Amino acid sequence: MSIQELTTGLPAPKPLRLGETALFLDLDGTLAPIAARPQDVRPDPRRTSLLERLTLRLEGRLAVVSGRALGDVDRILENCVASVAAVHGLVRRTPDGQVFRTAPHAGLTKAAEGFRAFATRDSGLIVEEKAGLSVALHFRLASRHAEAARACARELAAATGLALQDGDMVEELRTPGASKGDSVRAFMAQAPFAGSLPVFVGDDTTDEDGFKAALALGGFGVSVGAPRATAARFRLAGVDAALAWLEAAS
């Protein structure tokens, strides 16, 4: 089935069968509401408790796959998830605590300087540097600069050779390398994930590689939020619906 065929009318997913599932979860827009500033997302007892229960019932077959830096994921989730792919897959921590990092791209300094110069236009423009591997320009609080921000990101991508990652009111320039889909495949090749059916839950275009990887490995994707073109097979209306669906299985 094509992405176009999946654009509208996606059903809600059926209850999870945890005994055969490996669960891959995005963070912002999936487990936590999108905040105006990335630093405004904080730990939440309900979310932490849910992830702890799911990890136990899944016998460790749970990973968070996020665009955030690894330290930021751990801060928000209170270190309750061992397996994490951060910076869209450029950093990956395995269940036993090993951390694999992509070498940083030489163009990141120029990209960060370019974003910081652009951000002087408005106090609502926020530059976020991620673990020396990526730099993002957030414009949720300065939406009138959205088109100019996107143009700036495209120009810097062309000038530096960095990969351009479009997001929800954010443009990110990242070291070329592993994607969220690559992270799913890497986790699924090792214990305790191997042999299970992957389910990837995410909210925007940065999660499409994860949806496609899950589908190719016999599982499926769940899109969170408003209907859009997606490779996911199911959809949940928002963060509250996603948490409720996960809680029903936990």
Q: Where are the domains of the chain?
A: 17-102+178-249, 108-174
**pLDDT over 50 (residue 98):** yes
Cα 188 → chain centroid: 17
Question: Which residues, including other chains, have CB under 8 Å from residue 28's CB and lie 6 or more apart?
Answer: 34, 35, 38, 41, 66, 67, 68, 203
- 198 near 188, Cβ under 8 Å? yes
Angle at 234 between CA 204 and CA 58, to 5 degrees: 90
- Are 90 and 133 a contacting pair, CB within 8 Å? yes
CB 236 within 8 A of CB 12: yes
Nearest alpha-carbon partner for 68 in 11, 16, 131: 131
User: 224: helix, coil or strand?
Assistant: strand
- CATH fold of 108-174, please? Alpha-Beta Plaits (3.30.70)
Catalytic residues: 26
Whether the model clears a pTM of 0.85, i.e. scores above it, the answer is yes
- What phi and psi, each to the nearest 5 degrees, are found at residue 195? 90, -5
Give residue-wise pLDDT tens across range 20-76: 999 999 999 999 999 988 999 999 999 999 999 999 999 999 999 999 999 999 999
Question: 206 to each of 11, 26, 70, 149, 178, how far by Cα in Å?
Answer: 21, 9, 17, 18, 12
Q: Which residue has the tokens 């509401």?
A: 33
The radius of gyration of the chain's CA atoms, rounded to the nearest angstrom, is 18
CATH architecture of 17-102+178-249: 3-Layer(aba) Sandwich (3.40)
What are the tens digits of pLDDT across the range 198-236? 999 999 899 999 999 999 999 999 999 999 899 999 999
Question: CB count, 10 Å around CB of 11?
Answer: 8
